[in-house]
Amino acid sequence: MELMEWSDRFRLGHRRIDSDHRKLIALINQLTEAMSKRAGQQVCGEVLDELVTYFQTHFATEEQLMAAHNYAHSMEHKAEHAEFVEKVLELKSKFDAGSVTLSISLLNFLREWLTNHILVTDKALVAGLPPA
């Protein structure tokens, strides 16, 4: 079961950012599949760990690009990243402690946040970068 599907609407024209976005969508779908198959706490936790780590890696890449090209809206963009990471790490901590389970609402949050971030925030970022 796919929660998100890569499509041309997500293609921003920056090779590295587009590649990262494809990977993030694949990981969200992997988490969705693990949950739908009731793969268990350990498997879901491992996929969630990989997703969190990859989000952080991707955000670091974007932030390096912003710094290298003096992106005018880098403060706002970084704040969006920090807020998202804080929320996801809090959910991950609760999941690891067994006080919260993964749910469709978490998956929907991930899908909606990533979709908005790609189509609004990252689209503006890529427009301010030289072609890659």
For residue 67, what is the domain's CATH number? 1.20.120.50
Let me know if residue 25 belongs to a domain.
yes
Let me know if residue 69 belongs to a domain.
yes
Quote the domain boundaries for residue 35: 14-127
Let me know if residue 80 belongs to a domain.
yes
Let me know if residue 9 belongs to a domain.
no
The domain total for the chain is 1
Let me know if residue 84 belongs to a domain.
yes
pTM: predicted TM-score of the whole model, two decimal places = 0.89
Query: How confident is the prediction along the chain (132 residues), in pLDDT tens digits per residue?
Result: 688 999 999 999 999 999 999 999 999 999 888 888 776 677 778 888 898 899 999 999 999 999 999 999 999 999 999 999 998 888 888 777 876 666 777 888 899 999 999 999 999 999 988 777
Contacts of residue 119, defined as CB under 8 A and 6 or more positions apart, other chains included, come to: 9, 10
